[in-house]
Chain A
Amino acid sequence: MVGTRTTVLVDGNEAAAAVAYRLSEVVAIYPITPASPMGELADEWAAHRKPNLWGTVPQVFEMQSEGGAAGAVHGALQAGTLATTFTASQGLLLMIPNLYKIAGELTPFVLHVAARTLATHALSIFGDHSDVMACRQTGFAMLAAASVQEAQDMAAVAHAATLRSRVPFLHFFDGFRTSHEINGVIPLADETLHALIDEAAIDGHRARALSPDHPVLRGTAQNPDVFFQAREACEPYYRECPAVVEDVMARLEHQTGRSYRLFEYAGHPAAERVVVAMGSGAETARQTAVWLAAQGERVGALTVRLYRPFSLAGFVGALPETTRAIAVLDRTKEPGALGEPLYLDVVAALAEAESAGVNWLARSRPRVIGGRYGLSSKEFTPTMVGAVFAELAQPRPKQHFTVGITDDVSHSSLKRGAHLDINDPRTQRAVFFGLGADGTVGANKNSLKIIAEETGDHVQGYFVYDSKKAGSATISHLRFGVSPIHAPYLIRSAGFVACHHFPLLERMRVLERAAPGAIVLLNAPGDPDQVWARLPREVQQVAIERKVRLYTVDASRVAREAGLGRRINTIMQTCFFALSEVMPIEAAVARIKAAITKTYGRRSEEAVRRNHAAVDQALTHLYPVPLPAEVTADHSRPPPVPPEAPDFVRRVTGAILEGLGDHLPVSAFPVDGTWPLGTARYEKRCIASEIPAFHGELCIQCNKCAMVCPHAAIRVKACRTDDLADAPAGFTTLPYKGEEFRGYRFLLAVSPDDCTGCTLCVAVCPAKDKANPRRKALEMRPIAELRTQGAAQFGYFLSRPEVPRDQVPLNPKQVQLFEPLFEYSGACAGCGETPYVKLLTQLFGDRAVIANATGCSSIYGGNLPTTPYAANRDGRGPAWSNSLFEDNAEFGFGMRVALDQLQREAQTLLAELAPELDSALVTRLLDTGRGEAAILSRRQEVEALRRALERLENPAARRLAGLADHLVEKSVWIVGGDGWAYDIGYGGLDHVLASDRNVNILVLDTEVYSNTGGQQSKATPMAASAKFAIAGRSTAKKDLGMIAMAYGHVYVARVAFGARDAQTVQAFLDAESYDGPSLIIAYSHCVAHGFDLSHGLDQQKLAVESGHWPLYRYDPRTLAAGGKPLELDSGPPKRSLAEFMANEARFRVVQRDDPERFKTLLEQAEAGGRLREERLRFLAGFSST
Chain B
Amino acid sequence: MDLSTRYLGLVLPHPLMPGASPLAENLDTVRRLEDAGAAAIVLPSLFEEQLLQDRMSVLRHTEDPAEGFAEALSYFPHTDDFALGPESYLEQIRRIKLAVNVPVIASLNGITRAGWIDYARLIEQAGADALELNVYFVAAGAKDTAASVEDRLIEIAAAVKQSVELPVAVKLSPFFSALRHLVRRLEALEIDGLVLFNRFYQPDIDIEALETVPRLSLSTSSELLLRLRWLAILSGRVRPSLAASGGIHDTADAIKALMAGADAVQLVSALLQRGPSHLSRLRNELVEWLERHQYASLAEMQGSMNLLRCPDPAAFERANYMAALQGWGPENRPAADF
Contacts and interface: CB of A to CB of B under 8 A. Distances in A.
A436 B68 contact: yes
B81 A1087 contact: no
Interface string B58-78: 111111111111111111111
Interface string B88-115: 1001100000000000000000000010
A1162 to B, nearest CB: 12
Given A439-B63, A606-B52, A44 B76 contact: no
Contacts of A180: 70
Interface stretch (A781-789, A948-956, A1005-1013): A1005-1013
A44 B78 contact: yes
A43 B77 CA distance: 9
A43 B76 CA distance: 12
B72 A1152 contact: no
Interface residues of A, number: 63
A1152 B57 CA distance: 13
A89 B124 CA distance: 56
Contact of B84 (A435, A828, A1152, A1155): A1152
Interface in A731-784: 768, 770, 773
Contacts of A565: 60, 64
Contacts of A599: 80
A1013 B69 CA distance: 9
A980 to B, nearest CB: 15
A607 interface: yes
Given A607-B59, A1013-B74, A1145-B61, A469 B82 contact: no
B68 A472 contact: yes
B84 A603 contact: yes
B265 to A, nearest CB: 30
Contact of A1011 (B71, B74, B92): B71
Interface stretch (A503-511, A984-992, A1023-1031): A1023-1031
A33 B54 contact: no
B252 to A, nearest CB: 35
A1091 B61 contact: yes
Given A1013-B71, A1152-B82, A604 B76 contact: no
A1088 B66 CA distance: 10
Interface string A590-607: 000000000110111111
B174 interface: no
Given A442-B66, A603-B55, A1088 B75 contact: yes
B56 interface: yes
A474 to B, nearest CB: 7
A160 interface: no
B65 A437 contact: yes
B323 interface: no
Q: Which 5 residue pairs of A and B lie closest in terms of their CB atoms, listed nearest first?
A: A436-B68, A1013-B72, A604-B55, A773-B210, A1014-B75
Residue from A606, A1011, A1153 whose CB has the most chain B CB atoms within 10 Å:
A606
B9 interface: no
Given A33-B70, A439-B63, A1153 B75 contact: no
B120 to A, nearest CB: 15
B140 interface: no
Contacts of B80: 599, 602-603
Given A604-B55, A604-B84, A125 B70 contact: yes
B85 interface: yes
16 contacts: A180-B70, A441-B68, A442-B63, A565-B64, A603-B84, A605-B118, A773-B211, A1010-B72, A1010-B75, A1013-B71, A1013-B74, A1013-B75, A1014-B75, A1088-B76, A1090-B62, A1152-B82
Interface string A1071-1098: 0000000000000000110111000000
B24 to A, nearest CB: 13
Contacts, number: 155
A474 B85 CA distance: 32
Contact of B79 (A33, A36, A40, A603): A603
Contacts of A1087: 61, 64-65, 75
A304 to B, nearest CB: 27
Contacts of B66: 436, 442
A472 B59 contact: no
A560 to B, nearest CB: 14
Contacts of B82: 603, 1025, 1149, 1152-1153
Contacts of B92: 1155
Interface in B240-286: none
A180 B63 CA distance: 19
B76 A125 contact: no
Contact of B76 (A469, A605, A1014): A1014
Contact of A469 (B55, B69, B87): B69
B83 interface: yes
A1137 to B, nearest CB: 16
Interface string B194-227: 0000000000000000110000000000000000
Nearest to B114: A605
A33 B71 contact: yes
A1146 B82 CA distance: 11
A218 interface: no
Interface in B36-65: 52, 54-65
A838 B244 CA distance: 60
Interface string A363-394: 00000000000000000000000000000000
Interface string A426-443: 000000000111011110
Contacts of B69: 436, 465-466, 469, 472
Nearest to A1151: B88
A584 to B, nearest CB: 28
A48 interface: yes
Contacts of A441: 67-68
Contact of B61 (A125, A859, A1092): A1092
